[in-house]
Amino acid sequence: MMCASSSTGDLSSLSSSASNSPAAPSPLLLDRYEIRSTLGEGTYGTVYLALDSKTGDTVAVKMIRGNEDEEGIPSTSLREVALLREISHHNLVKLYDIHCKQRHLYMVFEYVQTDLRHLIRRTATTQGGNSASTTSADTAAMAPTTSNSNSTKKDHPVPVGLPADLLKSLSYQLINGLAHLHGHQIVHRDMKPQNILIDQRGYLKIADFGLARMHCIGVYTGTQDVITLWYRPPELLLGQRVYGTEVDIWAAGCIIAEMATGRPLFPGDSEVDTLFKTCQLLGSPTEDTWPGMKNTLTEWRDEFPKWRSVHPFTALRKAIPTDNMPDEGIDMLANMVRYPPASRHSACRLLTHPFFDSVHKQAFEQP
């Protein structure tokens, strides 16, 4: 939605196909926004890059088409508007304005240049030391991060993910944004690299709140088909019906691990495959490692293959052997990517983890 480097921005429901797309609006949309280009279009609408004629700012205008045959504006868009009008934080994408015109909903967002998925692809290096080009923006994003960063020793393995300082900076900002959401009793439910935007200064913005829900004691849902498969926690894969902010913590841990290695932690091609990849790394859950699991996980089967239980730290250190993630970072991840949801650390608690001791936190408070 706000990102230029993806054909669909953070509109995960949009496809790259331009068939049946609406006619381009007039050059001055809503009598204010000068359309510069189309960032993405698909089933539900179109995202335009535009210039705000009143402020001179570059913005992203997300146009959602009303459905004449059904309920009108999709409920996900209405939910996104409702939530973003209630909350504001520098690690959440800003909604500037909304308009309804001719059965269409227009949402005007701040424009953010790239998303985390593309940043990982651009900056990740290989074991052989060959790396994709790193832009000046990527380098600048590392500058305000840590006070005492140590250079990688020559005899250590070459990192295969983001540079250590950038990894720590983005991890802190990601958890900081989640802490604000969770503090307002909001569960995002769709955390993935495509929905995490990065601007040219290295500031991170969580986006796409179409699946977000208010959370009190627990979020009840008739389906567990939320959160993109690779970042979906085991309780949802196994049919748990009541859940809360812990699902975002698991997803964020998977995302941070991916920033460290340049590859997904659990890249399953189905729910069962994702579950089995999780069990292969962490071991199969048992009543000892996940008390009460058989009472809440409706899809668990005793016939599932059994893998030996491994402490999360040991498993994650083996899966993330790169220099850009020190043991302190692995310890933090081990408190995020663990089976019992209640045992995962909250976002507020994670912000105080020693992994972030060297982060210049004030540098990210007023971007």
DSSP3 helix / strand / coil % (the chain, rounded to 5): 30, 20, 50
Q: What are residue 306's phi and psi, to 5 degrees? A: -110, 130
Give residue 123's pLDDT. 80
Give residue 220's pLDDT. 59
192 is in an annotated binding site: no
* pLDDT tens sequence across 17-47: 333 444 455 568 889 999 999 998 877 789 9
Q: How far apart are CA 213 and CA 113, in angstroms?
A: 27
Q: Which is the catalytic residue, given 10, 138, 190, 208?
A: 190
Report whether 109 contacts 1 (CB < 8 A).
yes
Give residue 225's pLDDT. 63
Give residue 145's pLDDT. 44
* pLDDT tens sequence across 67-77: 766 667 888 88
pLDDT at 168 over 60: yes
Give residue 27's pLDDT. 65
Mean pLDDT of 278-299: 95
Domain boundaries, the chain: 28-110, 164-361
Give residue 69's pLDDT. 61
Q: What token pair was written down for 224? A: 């567990």
Share of the chain above pLDDT 90, in %: 63
Active site residue 190: yes
* pLDDT tens sequence across 247-281: 999 999 999 999 999 999 999 999 999 999 999 99
Give residue 20's pLDDT. 41
* pLDDT tens sequence across 309-361: 999 999 999 999 989 999 999 999 999 999 999 999 999 999 999 999 999 88
Position with higher pLDDT, 79 vs 329: 329
Question: Rounded mean pLDDT of the chain?
Answer: 83
* pLDDT tens sequence across 184-213: 999 999 999 999 999 999 999 999 998 898
| Residue 125 identity | T
Taking the model in full, what pTM does it have? 0.82
Give residue 3's pLDDT. 54
What SS3 class is residue 155?
A: coil
Position with higher pLDDT, 151 vs 58: 58
Distances (CA, A) of 283 to 276, 315, 339: 9, 9, 10
The CATH code of domain 164-361 reads 1.10.510.10
Q: What token pair was written down for 120? A: 């990982």
Q: How far apart are CA 361 and CA 352, in angstroms?
A: 11
Give residue 137's pLDDT. 42
| Homologous superfamily of 28-110 | Phosphorylase Kinase; domain 1 (3.30.200.20)
Per the DSSP assignment, residues forming a β-bridge with 125 are 131
pLDDT at 132 over 70: no
